[in-house]
Chain A
């Protein structure tokens, strides 16, 4: 479980994240949604410590991340897997080496054991026969799957996904969404997904937080988001013609 309390963050006096509190449950896909520029990614970067926060606290199973020393922070980060928007795979390493990298850094497994673990993770994300390829030689969807395999390689307790579907076709998006959902339930991970893709929200979202102007504007479930009377949420959810038509039918 991850709990954030009154998180605020500003850059050059401009408030980006404003007093946000939320509890992200384990074994569930927690979604942070909102328009572009609403502060989603900044909030995520604050939660994982890539940005310092101005106020508030981030508790990973009751341990306050920002009050820990460097060693304590490193310890928590070893339990974090992160799927970056662009994949953030290491260009100079092959697919297999990318997945093996965190295993090599944090375990004392033998070379063959590391390779076995990496292959298990790659099979888990349905990626076979790509072990020896470099990131520049694989598609966007494959990169996301390698990034997921790398994120789960050392069995994380927390999984952060920054717009996992960006740049993917609808079919591949569903594959990635389902993979995130399956892994979350299978390993009882606290998963936090940042997206503005409503299909993903309806597909896999368990808990949803809607951010507007850097604030926690609305929170609820995927069933509740479709019927809420909150204007900003409605404007976001029913922004497309397809969703508007769908709403008019019910």
Chain B
């Protein structure tokens, strides 16, 4: 019963979030602010994780391709496909759900318990629209950029560490990443990234917005927001893969 209540309340909040803004110019400025805070602020962690994951995939794949019948350019193929199809869109989204999701839930939750949201409502401002819509729009717009960045750095990391460790040659790796490349896979990854961004921005925002109590409940909302959005990302990863790749 509570599940249905939460679903209903979530969709009502989303409807309120995207109702007509009081002043468009202020909302546009807020979107750029959120892109800076949530998007550009995540470049560092995305870069570090992507480079090292690319490197690890390269070494692990090379280690498993000991059979002389299997060509070594398979390392490049594996790094490319792992990064584009799954790691960059899904795993990076899970990481962002932790970083951005907890930030959104705790920010909005704190505003709720300190009556800042009530203050917005009293002023006649749609608090859901003012606080949540710029965050969702910013993450949906910027997440594909982060994912593209992650794909590039992951493959670059694999290439650099592959050469440094000597597990693959320059020619084999370059040949591998271009071998039977399907451009649609990048589109598939970007669609997933935008969809997951909507989840990891809106679900924690929902939990933050309906926080009741004090500091302890803000922490709980933040945890709930991250856990539920992570589970939803995994579920929709399966659904979207089924829909877009078969």
Q: Determine the interface band of chain A, counting residues with CB < 8 A from chain B.
A: 20 to 34
B107 (CB) vs chain A CBs: closest residue? A92
Chain A interface mostly helix, strand, loop or mixed? mixed
Known A-B contacts A104-B26, A105-B22; A77 and B118 likewise in contact (beta carbons under 8 Å): no
A49-B26 Cα distance, complex, nearest whole Å: 25
CB pair B115–A77 under 8 Å, yes or no, is no
Stretch from B121-129, B142-150, B170-178 forming part of the interface with A: B121-129
A90 in contact (CB, < 8 A): yes
Known A-B contacts A104-B26, A105-B22, A105-B26; A85 and B124 likewise in contact (beta carbons under 8 Å): no
A74 — which chain B residues lie within 8 A by C-beta? 124
CB pair A84–B118 under 8 Å, yes or no, is yes
B23 in contact (CB, < 8 A): yes
A29 in contact (CB, < 8 A): no
B123 — which chain A residues lie within 8 A by C-beta? 77-78, 80, 101-102, 105-106
Most buried by A among B23, B110, B111, B114: B114
B9 in contact (CB, < 8 A): no
B165 in contact (CB, < 8 A): no
A104-B119 Cα distance, complex, nearest whole Å: 15
B interface size (C-beta, 8 A):
15
B116 in contact (CB, < 8 A): yes
Known A-B contacts A77-B123, A78-B124; A105 and B118 likewise in contact (beta carbons under 8 Å): no
B124 — which chain A residues lie within 8 A by C-beta? 73-78, 80, 106
A73-B126 Cα distance, complex, nearest whole Å: 11
Name the one of A73, A75, A84, A106 contacting B115, with C-beta atoms under 8 angstroms.
A84
A206-B151 Cα distance, complex, nearest whole Å: 69
A48 (CB) vs chain B CBs: closest residue? B122
A49 (CB) vs chain B CBs: closest residue? B121
CB pair A88–B26 under 8 Å, yes or no, is no
CB pair A91–B116 under 8 Å, yes or no, is yes
CB pair B116–A50 under 8 Å, yes or no, is no
Over the window 203-239 of chain B, the binary record of Cβ atoms lying under 8 Å from chain A Cβ atoms (1 yes, 0 no) is 0000000000000000000000000000000000000
* Chain B: minimal CB distance from A15 (Å): 20
CB pair A90–B116 under 8 Å, yes or no, is yes
CB pair A86–B121 under 8 Å, yes or no, is no
A75 — which chain B residues lie within 8 A by C-beta? 124
A82 in contact (CB, < 8 A): yes
A244-B245 Cα distance, complex, nearest whole Å: 81
* Chain B: minimal CB distance from A189 (Å): 15
A80 — which chain B residues lie within 8 A by C-beta? 122-124
B125 — which chain A residues lie within 8 A by C-beta? 105
A76-B124 Cα distance, complex, nearest whole Å: 8
Most buried by B among A75, A89, A105, A106: A105
A116-B173 Cα distance, complex, nearest whole Å: 63
Over the window 140-171 of chain A, the binary record of Cβ atoms lying under 8 Å from chain B Cβ atoms (1 yes, 0 no) is 00000000000000000000100000000000
* Chain A: minimal CB distance from B114 (Å): 6
CB pair A82–B119 under 8 Å, yes or no, is yes
CB pair B114–A88 under 8 Å, yes or no, is yes
A81 (CB) vs chain B CBs: closest residue? B122
CB pair A84–B119 under 8 Å, yes or no, is yes
* Chain B: minimal CB distance from A32 (Å): 17
CB pair A50–B121 under 8 Å, yes or no, is yes
B118 (CB) vs chain A CBs: closest residue? A50
A104-B22 Cα distance, complex, nearest whole Å: 11
B23 — which chain A residues lie within 8 A by C-beta? 104-105
B25 (CB) vs chain A CBs: closest residue? A104
A169-B157 Cα distance, complex, nearest whole Å: 61
* Chain A: minimal CB distance from B164 (Å): 44
CB pair B118–A88 under 8 Å, yes or no, is yes
A154 (CB) vs chain B CBs: closest residue? B123
* Chain B: minimal CB distance from A161 (Å): 12
B33 (CB) vs chain A CBs: closest residue? A92
* Chain B: minimal CB distance from A93 (Å): 10
Interfacial residues, chain B to chain A (CB-CB below 8 A): 22-23, 26, 110-111, 114-116, 118-119, 121-125
* Smallest CB-CB A-B distances: 4 pairs: A77-B124, A88-B115, A88-B119, A74-B124
Pairs A–B under 8 Å by Cβ, sample size 15? A73-B124, A74-B124, A77-B121, A77-B124, A80-B123, A80-B124, A82-B122, A84-B118, A86-B115, A88-B116, A91-B114, A104-B23, A105-B23, A105-B26, A160-B122
